[in-house]
Amino acid sequence: MHCLDRNRNHPAEWGRTAAGPRRDGDRNDRTRTSRRTDHGPSGPRILPGPPRARRRGARRFSGTTVNYYSGQIGVGSELDNLLMARFTEETGIHVNFVPKSDDTTEDYAVYDVLFAAKSPDIDVLALDIIWPASFADHLVNLRPALDAEAAQHFPGIIENNTIAGSLVAMPQFGDFGMLYYRTDLLAAYGFGGPPATWDELELMARTIQEGERAAGNANFVGLVFQGAAYEGGTCNALEWIASHGGSIIEEGVVTLNNEATLRAMERARGWVGTIAPETVVSFREEDARELFQRGDAAFMRNWPYAYAMGNAANSPIRERFDVAPLPHDGSHPGVGTVGGWQLAVSAYSPNPEAAIAFVRYLTSAEVQKWRAIEGGYVPTIRSVSEDPQVIAALPFLERLQGVVRIARPSRETGTQYNEASAVIFQGTNSILRGAEPSQTLATMSADLEALVQRGTTAP
């Protein structure tokens, strides 16, 4: 993913519209509601349109416009377009889509500015799972309106989104880091299954890369991941560190500068230019996915959304890949950084009731099931995750239930999280680019200690 022009997300560029979900200049047609056709293993299948919205109660806000600040990688934007059009059709509430950037650090800063100004220009906004505590004072308590709906979601996520007794966001979908691998290539080179350890991954990646390049694919690489200096870099670094037995912050104490972390960083730096391309230091999710889905990589670290895209009808690797837990060092478990997005309503929205109706629709069981099947998005509602159709679409959910999920240190750093994450991903990126690991970790540790001292622990 590449950062979008900051001006696209400036409030002055938004503009309200009562004409419906499509705006001049939008890249996607937000009025598509017809059924679309895909080709599954047994031939064409008709994909139904998005679920219907509940008209009861919402129709009284017909004619209202809701500004929706969001944006998703992969097929997510297409699904959102269809959902917005269906919601407007059913309720009469228009949705004005405001595309956020692909850089969560930038989005955090935009929210800071909007909330400081108590801007009425945003109604519904997408939040990274680590942000509810940071912005709680500026968000509507959804508990009175959505308490029954919240009870359907996994309790841990609802607890994450509940700050000082107020439910400030509803879960839209979950996420965790995992390893994608080419099943056909592993078999062709004599490997019986995916790697359990980083040593095994390095051996497999090197063997397959050498073989594919010798066979004529000079661009083939063994591994791709998210190495750019952005939030995804923090997620990758956490996985490397934890899978080597290290940590970043524990019980308010910065623990980053340790031997385990040093081993993890030295290992990752060794991938660049050997089994991973030199350009991986600027890779985000879509950069990695596009290369892997093109058939030019043996392994990829990414989020679940890439699973459905890899199995799309026009994908060169359709039914030629699978997913597994991320590797470990041989002595500690493999882990996956927890991700996922929530939807919230701004306390400064002029249309909070219509905004809540939209959030109720987008986070409903019906929509979560549809998004899971059509887009590969991990549901946060237990009944949806156990639905046979969802399990068939996302078979890896059952296999990866035991993966250890690790959280980013947002509660330990409180309102300083954005700055703390920047320390982590900038330092990690510097190491990947050749900086001396031990010295860089010492600097990162000192910077984090200063931020932890200034930060406020979330309730």
pLDDT tens-digit series, residues 381-393: 989 999 999 999 9
Closest residue by Cα to residue 376 from 231, 196, 184, 176: 176
Helix (H, G, I), strand (E, B) or coil at 323: strand
Cα 377 from Cα 289, distance rounded (Å) = 15
Token pair belonging to 349: 């929205």
Q: How many residues does the chain have?
A: 459
Query: Lowest-confidence range among 30-44, 107-121, 311-325?
Result: 30-44
Q: Residue range 104-132: average pLDDT?
A: 94
Give, as one character, the DSSP assignment of residue 459.
-
Where does 303-439 show beta strands of DSSP type E?
321-324, 335-345, 404-406
| 403 vs 289: which has the higher pLDDT | 289
**Would you place residue 9 in the very low, low, confident or very high pLDDT band (cuts 50, 70, 90)?**
very low
Q: Residue 220: pLDDT above 60?
A: yes
pLDDT tens-digit series, residues 193-214: 999 999 999 999 999 999 999 9
Alpha helices in 48-170 (DSSP H): 76-91, 104-116, 132-135, 143-150, 155-160
**Would you place residue 59 in the very low, low, confident or very high pLDDT band (cuts 50, 70, 90)?**
confident
Predicted confidence at residue 34, as pLDDT, reads: 31
Torsion-angle region of 164 (φ positive above 0: left; ψ -120 to 50: alpha; else: beta): left
Place of tokens 């377009």: 81
Q: Domain spanning 6-176+339-399 has what CATH number?
A: 3.40.190.10
Place of tokens 């030199």: 278
Q: Domain spanning 178-337+403-454 has what CATH number?
A: 3.40.190.10
Predicted confidence at residue 29, as pLDDT, reads: 31
Closest residue by Cα to residue 357 from 63, 96, 87, 161: 87
Q: Are 219 and 206 in contact (CB under 8 A)?
A: no
Q: Which residues pair with 63 in a beta bridge?
A: none
Query: For 236, phi and psi rounded to 5 degrees?
Result: -65, -45
Give, as one character, the DSSP assignment of residue 177.
-
What is the model's pTM?
Answer: 0.82
Q: Residue 101: pLDDT above 90?
A: no
Q: Residue range 308-334: average pLDDT?
A: 95
pLDDT tens-digit series, residues 222-234: 999 999 999 999 9
Pairing of strands 321-324, 335-345: unpaired
Q: Are 201 and 216 in contact (CB under 8 A)?
A: no
Domain boundaries, given as residue ranges, for the chain: 6-176+339-399, 178-337+403-454
Cα 342 from Cα 288, distance rounded (Å) = 24
Cα 354 from Cα 18, distance rounded (Å) = 13
Q: Residue 6: pLDDT above 60?
A: no
DSSP character string of 46-62: EEP-PPPPP-TTGGGGT
